[in-house]
Amino acid sequence: MTATARLTRALEALEARHRRRRLAPRQGLDFASNDYLGLASAPCMAAAAQDALDRNVPFGSGGSRLLRGNHPEHEALEAEAAAFFGTEAALFMGGGFQANQAIFSTLPAAGDLVLHDTLVHASAHEGMRLGRAETREFAHNDAADARRVLAEWHAGGNTGQVWIAVESVYSMEGDLAPLSELADLSRAHGAVLVVDEAHATGVFGPQGQGLAHGLNAEVLTLHTCGKGLGASGGLVCGAAAMIETLINRARPFIFATAPAPFTAALVRAALRALQTDPGLTHDARDRMAHANAEVQRLCGLTGFSSQILPVVIGADEPTMSHAEALQQKGFDIRGIRPPTVPRGTSRLRVSITGNVTNEDITMLFEAMASQIPELT
């Protein structure tokens, strides 16, 4: 069998299981993106883009940061991000996936332990796979189980550095990590708490600085720039020694073309917007509260705690059918299937973005209640 025939057969098998993925155009009201503040097309970002044009900020970097790709716009962003997020230093990278790869493949050493939540993002798993440290998982959002797993590791005579890896807001569950308890555990064991703030930045914390902001522990945070911040890239924020180690040893940083300086200018504008316009974060939280109230009133669903509302259907085929029906009614809702989520938990991932109103949110859940009456 040729390679093409083998790949075609594999794609046909995915099709038969309702798991074949396809690129789809944007259409309808935005309940699918991660543009939680609506910054991606906001006037303040357009003004920042025009300002960058007027200042002749380059559209491309032309090389890696360690060659000619470094630009004053990158360095200005990193200084401003470190100040905003309250850390010694920051490093701007091409994206959150690349940044997590860099963190977990570079910082934990042989003999160390990466203790991670079982639902931590695929990018963290990819970094751990490339790294040299031992990895163990604990039950989702269960700090007591993390304590148990860590005690077992120490009981085996292990004495290396511990890195505890979590997301502050989980991208498919929409729930919040028990960061205070995990910070206590980190302090007790001299561990580094690595917090992926991808879905918290701009929405949670003072001025949208994230849920890990102000924790009393040694914390390394990742703030992706393509979600709440409306641009692209990723900011790793933490101790200067960690950032310098990434610059010197992280292959996803060293061997990658630097993000465009123009993009860095847009991220700088997004950080300024969070500091000067408290309405951005306030309005996001207001939409979140409205969504949580309306999904309970209209669909009988409770227990949500963020702007991400997973409506679990279960099987793949009805999940995709419901998503398509809602799309035809004007709501951009996407179905999420394994392996992104565990088998048997296919879901409609409702994302409350900055591109919809409270009235739009109510209309969505009215349509959902009609389309999926078993929810109520």
Q: What is the pTM of this model?
A: 0.94
Residue 114, sorted as left (phi over 0), alpha (psi -120 to 50) or beta, turns out to be beta
Active site (annotated) includes residue 121: yes
User: Could you say which of 30, 196, 294, 332 is catalytic?
Assistant: 196
| Domain map (residue ranges) of the chain | 22-39+278-375, 57-276
Angstrom distances, CA of residue 214 to CA of 56, 261, 343 = 37, 30, 36
For residue range 158-203, what is the model confidence (pLDDT) as tens digits? Answer: 999 999 999 999 999 999 999 999 999 999 999 999 999 999 999 9
User: Could you say which of 61, 227, 306, 316 is catalytic?
Assistant: 227
User: For position 123, what pLDDT does the model report?
Assistant: 97
User: For position 26, what pLDDT does the model report?
Assistant: 84
User: Could you say which of 61, 105, 168, 171 is catalytic?
Assistant: 171
Active site (annotated) includes residue 167: yes
User: Could you say which of 71, 74, 116, 121 is catalytic?
Assistant: 121
Q: Can you name the residues that pair with 137 across neighbouring β-strands? A: 116
Q: Do the first three CATH levels of 22-39+278-375 and 57-276 match, i.e. the same topology?
A: no
Q: What are the residues whose beta carbons fall under 8 Å from the beta carbon of 372, sequence distance 6 or more?
A: 299, 311, 313, 322
User: Could you say which of 35, 112, 167, 316 is catalytic?
Assistant: 167
Active site (annotated) includes residue 196: yes
Active site (annotated) includes residue 358: no
Rounded to 10 degrees, the C-alpha dihedral 67/71/76/78 comes to: -30
Q: Where are the beta strands (DSSP E) in 111-261?
A: 113-117, 134-138, 162-167, 192-196, 219-224, 234-238
User: Could you say which of 30, 34, 35, 351 is catalytic?
Assistant: 34
Active site (annotated) includes residue 56: no
Amino acid residing at 345: T
User: Could you say which of 116, 125, 199, 213 is catalytic?
Assistant: 199
Active site (annotated) includes residue 125: no
User: For position 312, what pLDDT does the model report?
Assistant: 95
User: For position 24, what pLDDT does the model report?
Assistant: 81
> Which superfamily, per CATH, for 22-39+278-375?
Aspartate Aminotransferase, domain 1 (3.90.1150.10)
* Ranges of the chain whose pLDDT falls below 70: none
Q: Domain 57-276's class?
A: alpha beta
Residue 252 and residue 105 in contact, taking contact as beta carbons nearer than 8 Å: yes
User: For position 16, what pLDDT does the model report?
Assistant: 87
Residue 280 and residue 229 in contact, taking contact as beta carbons nearer than 8 Å: no
| CB burial readout 20-33, b (16+ within 10 A) else e | eeeeeeeeebbbbb
Active site (annotated) includes residue 321: no
User: For position 62, what pLDDT does the model report?
Assistant: 94
Element (H, E) at 184: helix 179-189
